[in-house]
Amino acid sequence: TIKKLEKELGLTIFDRSSVPVRLTEAGEIYLETVKKILNLESELEVRLQNYSGLKAGTIRLGAPHFFASFLLSTIISAFSAKYPGIQIHLDETNTPELQEKVLNARTDLIVDSCDFDETLFTSYPLMEEHMLLAVPAGYPVNSRLASYRLSPRDIRENVHLRESCPAVSPAAFRKLPFLMLRHGHITHDFAVGLFRKYRFSPKIAMYLDQLMTCYNLAAQQMGASFVSDTVVKLTKTDADVFLYQIDDPKASRLIYLAHKKSRWIPRVVQEFIAVSQTLFPFPAAQKIAQASEPHGTHDGVSP
């Protein structure tokens, strides 16, 4: 118990006179030190794993649900086939939680499309995707914008990537009801940023957790929704929507693999990054050096 621990240490960890109970100054020092010890134990474990030739070990991954489903699952499958003895832990959650976990050394690598702070993270671009607006096919606005609208088949054939493909101002859809992802999702922030930039506040028909759900509900005529071209391409049947290229530079975004900057990189993490870049070769990808010895690296540089 806490009281027994306090007796053994000869100090008070919690100030019980306050409401709520809070750590004393000594308690804060104790907690901070315990965290450092746990991190050192974790680092020791992964350093020792390097000597096993990757025949055993653990890697902790994280991603929003959509990226975990379509992108990370592909990488995990290839990595596991190459290193069957490595145990993989996968955490599916939102961007703020993913970043907090990787910065606190509770996750080794995350996949996301956010702009990673270069002072905190080292990131590796895997692929580019493009945000589109999916509008229910039955909405009258589609008739007025007939020269701009695209079909799901057009997206699968990359018509939207041609220079001749026109983009539309989001303001053209200001009167439509929107399906939104909840706060904490990158696409939510993207949509809110556009609403502010073009100075309109649409009616929100529903808040959801998955981009694919937004797309499917748009096809059911429930509202317009921002979706990525990846979502459209992964949907095998043609949804009953029209899609519009958005006139905004932030409509194109990169999907990254990232880890905490200035940390010791275990060999298992290096190998996972290497497998990822083999499967998703990106022209501007930052390549880390392959580990030729059993000693990890420190942001790609030998210690």
pLDDT of residue 46: 64
Contact 234, 188 (CB under 8 A): no
CATH of the domain at 195: 3.40.190.10
Q: What is the pLDDT of residue 50?
A: 58
Q: Binning pLDDT at 50, 70 and 90, where does residue 297 land?
A: very low
| pLDDT greater at residue 17 or residue 196 | 196
Mean pLDDT is lowest, of 51-55, 197-201, 250-254, for 51-55
pLDDT over 60 (residue 299): no
* CA 102 – CA 120 distance, rounded (Å): 10
Is 287 inside any structural domain?
yes
Instruction: pLDDT band for 295, please (50, 70, 90 cuts).
Output: very low
Give the residue, 30 or 176, on which the prediction is more confident.
Answer: 176
Please report which confidence band the pLDDT of residue 115 belongs to, taking 50, 70 and 90 as the band edges.
Answer: confident
pLDDT: which is higher, 45 or 218: 218
Burial 116-152 (b: 16+ CB within 10 A, else e): beeeebbbbbbebbbbbbbbbbebebbeebeebbbbb
Q: CA-CA distance, 18 to 28, in Å (whole number)?
A: 15
Q: What is the pLDDT of residue 49?
A: 62
* Same domain, yes or no: 23 and 55: no
pLDDT value, residue 298: 45
Indicate the pLDDT class of residue 141, thresholds 50, 70 and 90.
Answer: very high
Please state, for a pLDDT cut of 70, what percent of the chain lies above it: 91
Task: With cut-offs at 50, 70 and 90, classify the pLDDT of residue 5.
Answer: confident
Is there a single domain that holds both residue 23 and residue 109?
A: no
The yes-or-no verdict on residue 184 having pLDDT over 90 is no
Residue 303 lies in a domain: no
What one-letter code names the amino acid at 96? P
Phi/psi for 171 (5° steps) reads -60, -20
Q: SS3 of 297, please?
A: strand
Which CATH number characterizes residue 40's domain? Answer: 1.10.10.10
Give the residue among 1, 249, 270 at the shortest CA–CA distance from 109.
270
Examine the domain organization and report whether 201 and 183 are in the same domain: yes
Amino acid, single-letter form, for residue 59? I
Question: Cα(52)–Cα(42) distance, rounded to whole angstroms?
Answer: 16
pLDDT given at position 172: 96
Give me the pLDDT at residue 80, please.
96
Whether residues 148 and 171 share a domain: the answer is yes
C-alpha closest to that of 50 among 299, 298, 293, 300: 293
pTM > 0.95: no
Residues 210, 266 within the same domain: no
**Domain identity same for 182 and 280:** no
193 and 212 in a single domain? The answer is: yes
The DSSP secondary structure of 42-107, one letter per residue, reads HHHHHHHHGGGTTSSEEEEEEE-HHHIIIIIHHHHHHHHHH-TTEEEEEEE--HHHHHHHHHTTS-
At 15 the pLDDT is: 82
What sign does the dihedral 75-80-83-88 (CA atoms) show?
positive
Tell me: do 88 and 110 sit in the same domain.
yes
- DSSP H or E segment with residue 137: none
Phi, psi of 252 (to 5 degrees): -105, 135
Q: What is the pLDDT of residue 52?
A: 61
Count of structural domains, the chain: 3
**For residue 71, is it within any domain?**
yes
Asked whether residue 208 is assigned to any structural domain, the reply reads yes
Q: What is the pLDDT of residue 51?
A: 58
What is the average per-residue pLDDT within 202-218? 96
Residue 95 structural domain: 50-127+254-298
Q: Give the per-residue pLDDT at 3.
A: 80
- 70 and 217 housed in the same domain: no
Residue range 220-254, pLDDT digits in tens: 999 999 999 999 998 878 889 999 999 999 999 99
Better-predicted residue by pLDDT, 47 or 248: 248
Contact between residue 233 and residue 156 where contact means Cβ atoms under 8 Å apart: yes
- Around Cβ 227, how many Cβ atoms within 10 Å? 25
Q: Residue 100 falls within a domain, yes or no?
A: yes
